[in-house]
Structure 1
Amino acid sequence: MTRTLFITGASSGIGAETARQAVAGGWNVALMARSREKLTALAGELGDAALAVPGDVTRMDDLDECVGRAVDRFGGLDAAFANAGRGMSRPGTEDGDLDDIRGMIDLNVTALVQTARATLPELRKTQGTLVLTGSGAGRRHIAGSIYGATKWFVHGYAGNMAEEMREWGGRCCVVAPGMVDTPFFADGAPDKLQPQDVAAAIMQMIDAPPRANIREIFLMPQD
């Protein structure tokens, strides 16, 4: 039976590459992001195993609708990847724009919890896996980094959810990459990790046998 993975932040970078590797590995994928055009193009590339479900993860109604469409199309969810997130245009507590700070926290923290809230009822049915995108920035202190603090939340939440989900046979995992060459960095990061490196780690977590919960994979560039 083909399994199904729900991905937020799926239109580019790590999310898009995870979708490609999942389909190559025999999974169906439901792709959520705000960019309808990019999602449609990616779903067209991936074929019948992919469903584009455009929406805004900061809106609970959008998440519920997108999860519902995925379940209607594929029959259920076996894994979810809460990947949507962003940084700030001007980092720092004193220099950062307050609206920018609020928007980042809403996406990196609140929307991540909302993604778990929307997908958990389906994951419980399949004893499925929830994967969260953390960061190397969430494993060390960086001077004044509010972005890093949001990723500390992700790591703590992942551990708490792993304890909750194991009660019914589910798993929660966090992938924590260092700098990755994605649109997240305006000038790119070609000498750093590539999206396919992170996607391979995610596939390892969701393909692991039910007896094994790979709670965290921490990737850093070798150079």
Structure 2
Amino acid sequence: MTKTLLITGASTGIGAATARAAARAGWNVALLARSEDKLETLADEIGDAALALACDVTDRDAVNEAVAKTVDHFGGLDGVFANAGKGVDNPGVENGDPAEWHDMIHLNILAVLYTAHATLPHLRKTRGMFVVTGSKAGRDHMKGSIYGATKWFVHGFAGNLAEEMREWGGRCTVISPGMVDTPFFDEGKPTKLQPEDIADAVVFALGQRDTSCVREIHLMPND
């Protein structure tokens, strides 16, 4: 039976590249993001293996509904890529904007928790895998970076979740990239990591034998 991967933040960048790569590797893909038009375009490109689900992943009820629709449509869930995230326009603490922090924390932290909470019962049935987007910023101390602090949470959570899932044969991997050329930045970064680089890392993690759990993949641009 074809396996199914649910991806958050799937409309552009890393999420969209991972959807394409996973579909090429034989996975069904459930695509979650707020941008319905972009999701539909991507789903049309991929074909019958894709399901577009417009969803605000900071809304716990919406996440639960999207997961239920995924399982109903494809018959189960074998993998999750919790990729949705954002930064802030005003970095630092003293000059930062607490309203921006609020929105970022809800997406970078709470949405990851909501996604895990909604999907783990289904992943338990398939001894499936949870993959989450961390960052180099979640491994290093960066001056006043609230964004980096959210990614430190992600890295810590991923390790803890890996231990919890290990009890029933599941696995968790955190993908930790340096700078990636995505819409996250206002200007293009063509010499930095490309979304396809991260997508290949996700597919690699998903393809491990049952005896192996790659806990972290750390990628850096070669320039």
What TM-score range do you get, normalising by the shorter chain?
over 0.9
Q: 1:64 matched to which residue of 2?
A: 64
Once the two structures are superposed, residues 53-80 of structure 1 have per-residue CA deviations (whole angstroms, 9 ceiling, x without a partner) of 1110000010011001100110010000
Q: 2:122 matched to which residue of 1?
A: 122
Q: 2:133 matched to which residue of 1?
A: 133
Q: 1:38 matched to which residue of 2?
A: 38
Q: 1:5 matched to which residue of 2?
A: 5
CA distance in 1, matches of 2:134, 2:64: 23
| Structure 1 residues 47-126: aligned runs within 5 Å | 47-126=47-126
Q: Secondary structure at the match of 1:159?
A: helix
Q: 2:27 matched to which residue of 1?
A: 27
TM-score by length of 1: 0.99
Q: Secondary structure at the match of 1:68?
A: helix
Deviation of the 1:191 alpha carbon: 1.0
- 1:214 maps to amino acid: V
CA distance in 2, matches of 1:44, 1:94: 45
Deviation of the 1:95 alpha carbon: 1.1
Q: Secondary structure at the match of 1:168?
A: coil
Q: Secondary structure at the match of 2:48?
A: helix
- 1:164 maps to amino acid: E
5+ residue gaps, structure 2: none
Q: 1:163 matched to which residue of 2?
A: 163
Q: 1:148 matched to which residue of 2?
A: 148
CA distance in 1, matches of 2:79, 2:188: 29
TM-score by length of 2: 0.99
Deviation of the 1:97 alpha carbon: 1.1
Q: Secondary structure at the match of 1:30?
A: strand
CA distance in 2, matches of 1:150, 1:188: 24
CA distance in 1, matches of 2:188, 2:78: 33
- 2:212 maps to amino acid: A
- 1:4 maps to amino acid: T
5+ residue gaps, structure 1: none
**Aligned pair count?**
223
CA distance in 2, matches of 1:17, 1:36: 17
Deviation of the 1:27 alpha carbon: 0.3
- 1:125 maps to amino acid: K
CA distance in 1, matches of 2:36, 2:50: 14
Deviation of the 1:209 alpha carbon: 0.8
1:190 matched to 2:190: yes
Deviation of the 1:133 alpha carbon: 0.3
1:209 matched to 2:209: yes
Identity %: 62
